[in-house]
Structure formats: C-alpha cells, structure tokens
Structure 1
Amino acid sequence: MDIHNLHITKSTGDKVKFSLDKLRASLTKSGADKETIDHIIDSVRDELYQGISTKEIYNRAFALLKKKKSHYASRYKLKKAIYELGPTGFPFERFISELLKYSGYKTEVGSILQGECVQHEIDVIAHTKNTSIIIECKFHNEPGLNCNVKVPLYFNSRYQDVKSFWDKNSKNKTTLTKGWVVTNTRFTEDAIQYGKCCGLYLLSWDYPKDNSLQDRIERLGLYPITVSTLLTSREKQFLLSRDIVLCKQLLHDKFYLDHLGVSEIRKKKILNEIEQLCQL
C-alpha cells in the first residue's frame, strides 16, 4: 500500500493523512531505541489500511512496546493515562496541583474564594512568595472533546470577580497575578485567541508549543500513576483514592502496595517499572 495516500480516522471522526514521522516521533518519546522503533514501524505499516483509526494504530504500537519493555509502553500511553484519571475531574485537579508543586509552587485544591459579587469554588490555587494564580481544570475522560471559547470566557468572569475582592483584602499577602485554564484535551482556535486577548494563561495537552502539558510532564518525569502497565485498574483507583496521583509518589509511599496485597515479586516489578519511568 502507498502510505503517502493513506488517510486515517481520528477520534473526532475526521480523516487526516497518515504521517510516518508523527508515529516515529511518538515512539521516540517513549525512550525506545532506534532498532525497536524501526521494528514497530515496519510491523504497523504492514497492517495499515485505508481509514484505519488512530486508536487501532496506537493499540498495535503499544502492544509491541509493552512486549519489549513495560516502561517504554508506559511513556507511550501518557495521553491515554491522563484520561484514565477520570471519570471525575478531581484526580486531574490533584495531578495539576502536584505538577505545580514540583515547579516550586505551594498549592491548594478545591478552595472557596470570595469574589466581589459571589463566592467561587476554585480547582487549584498556586502560590509563590509574592504572587498567586487561580486555576480552572477542565477534564475530559474521552478524546475528541475540546474546550471551546465558552470555557475561558466563563472563567475570566470568575477570575475578575475574585481578583476585584482579592486586591481590596489586606489579609492577602500575595498579589493575584493570573488566571489559568488547564485541560487534558485541546483548545479551539477561538478559545486560544480569547485567552491571549484577555490575559488568561491556557495550558492543554499540546499548547503552548514547547511548554504544553505533555512537555511539562515529560520534562519533569512527573507521570500519572495511571501510566503503569503492571498495576490493575482496581489498584490504580485505590491509589488515586489515597491521593497517589504521581508515579514518584508511589516510590515514597511503597507501603500502599502492601495494603493492596501485592506479592513481593510483583511489587519489585512494579517499582522497577516506575523507577525507570521517572528517570530523567
């Protein structure tokens, strides 16, 4: 088959041209060596057909990576692992909070702030010594659901109400400098344009370029616990319910695996996978 004329089906239902370069780039981010990547590309290419879904391509590449080394597969499944933080958005809020902690912020999750007009529940508040930011987290547990302009439009009105009261309150020892909207999917062009215009900071899976959610996770090695290919869904949900949202946290709180009744042999494999995953 001539792959130059091959079209694949995205999760949104849109048809796009297949890109071998994009597949290679995503496999490279898993940390796999060139020989492994070449082998996977050759195998996947043999199974392509007109209209194949991106999910089918992903599943095949993931299975081959997992067969080679589990931590390769874990890195490769990062985007899917973020969806698995659901079905509610609370673990995603905790995850964003932990990301910011490792970037030097002190954070609070699920706080109530007084605005000039009404009170507001804020997903995450992040403080430095002199400044604070408030963050709205928009979590989707399936691909194809992007954030349109209504999301930053709505949050900006809340931010302005909170800031108006914050600036007048002498008890606040920091300056509220920014409002963020964070999503695990993507923003529409209108949403990005509005965010730029009104001064909100937007962070999504692939935006802003070179400092997106994906970039930050991979740069800091802060992978969600759901990337593990060795933990079961039940075990992941147990850990999330104990506020273990990062792989790095499990390395410090290994006793949770004992609570789960994980055997010593399996425990060693799980921790080995996570240690290799978190190495920068």
Structure 2
Amino acid sequence: MRTEQPSPPLTIPAVASRKGRTPLVCLTAYTTPVARIVDRHCDIVLVGDSVGMVLHGLPSTLPVSVDMMVLHGQAVRRGLKRALMVVDLPFGSYEQSPQQAFDTAARIMAETGCAAVKLEGGIPMAETIAFLSARGIPVMAHVGLTPQSVHRFGGYGVRGQDEEAESVARDAAAATRAGAFAVVLEKIPAPLARSITDTVPVPTIGIGASENCDGQILVVDDILGTMPELSLRFVKRYATIGAETDEAVAAYADDVRRRRFPAEEHAFGTGASQDGDR
C-alpha cells in the first residue's frame, strides 16, 4: 500500500516561479497551533509585526521589538512543515543603514529558522534590499500603505491614488530591481495593482489591492473574526471565533457560579488513575 508523501518545503525559487500562475496563498501566524493549521493550506506564512496589535494590544506596529519577532518566529517555525516562513523586520531595526538591517535580519534568520525577511519601503530601501540580497538574505518588499509609516501618512487610508500612483509604482520597481523576490502591495487601487503586477518580474502579493496580484495575504485573526469589533473593507471574514469564544466563556462562568462545573465526571476519587490526564 502506497502512502502519500508530504510535500517538500516551499523555496524562494518555487515562490518566484508562481509569477502569473496559480495565486500564492499567504496568511500571518504568531503561534505554533495556528501555524500548524495554516501550514496545511498556505504557501507563505508571515510572522508579521501586526502581532503587536493582534496579540499584545499595542496601538500600532511601531513599539514591536526584535525580541518579540524572534519569540513569535520561533513559535511559528515549530508548527511549519511546508510553507515558506517570512518574518517582518520591526520599525527602527533596519532603517538606519544596510549594515543595521543585515545585523537584524541575520539574527532573526539564525534564531527563528525563517527563509526570508520582509521590510517596508521602495526607493529609500533599495540600497538595503540589494545589500541584504547580495549577502544571502532573501527579502520580501512592502509598498503602498506601509503601517510603520502611519504617522507620516496620517492614518491607514488608501495609498497610490491620483498623482501618488506613479510614486508607488516606482517604489515597487526599485525594490524588485534591488533584488526583492516578491513585493507586498497594500491598500492601493485595483488598476494600479494590475499595472505593477504586469510590470515587475516578481510575484506581487496583495492586501487590499484587489485580485490583480499574483497572491493574497491577510491577517489570520481578521479572517477568523477573533476581533469582531474590527471591520475592514478588504477582509472577508470566514469565521466568527470571537463571538463563539465570548459565548463559551460566558457559559463556563455561569456553570462555575451555579456549581454545575466541575461535575462528578470531572472529579477524581480516591486511588483514581491519572494516566493520560494533562
């Protein structure tokens, strides 16, 4: 009887070869259990600096540290067998110089086992992307709405409209010329996403950039509905885990207060075996 062999881990060349072909499926993950689930379905798993807002309650991604990215990167790595793992370089850890970016990226790759890093910026970061790529560090670029620049932008609005469109296109082109193996396009108009995708030689991965990309990425908690109070136009919610969790916790609390839990089947008698119990 033949047994199905597991798929080999996805590589950077394999991702690059998907340009113009079957769309790349990408999601964020921050923990081992979630990584195990998304690994079965996704091509790329991003340990995003969005972890600061999603899991740590921070107001933006700006306070996220390298130590935080390493910690969550290690957790995600334990849950992956096939998907390509990418880790964000957090704000302040790479902008000063190409050498600073190399030091940060080298540490993150060595301590997490990720295959690549992601950084925000186009033309201003082209020298850094080239520096990293020449030294064996694969880079995923990120242009359009770049959350680490939220204060400069004045919010999380759509980028690349009207006269700004050419600027975003130049950023994407500069990042790919510098050696980025893929580029994230965030929250830009659909026609601009199509134009960039048709122009750059590497896969584009959209988030709020329409179907006109070579792949899509979302924050996993957004599609699961763990934060029901958050509503984003470019997100499709596939579950309502937040509401279901609230109902479950409310039921548990009610059972405890009414002494319905623990019941007899949840208790141990004298001499009871504890084998298999957590």
Give the TM-score, by structure 1 length: 0.29
Question: Where is the helix percentage greater, Structure 1 or Structure 2?
Answer: 1
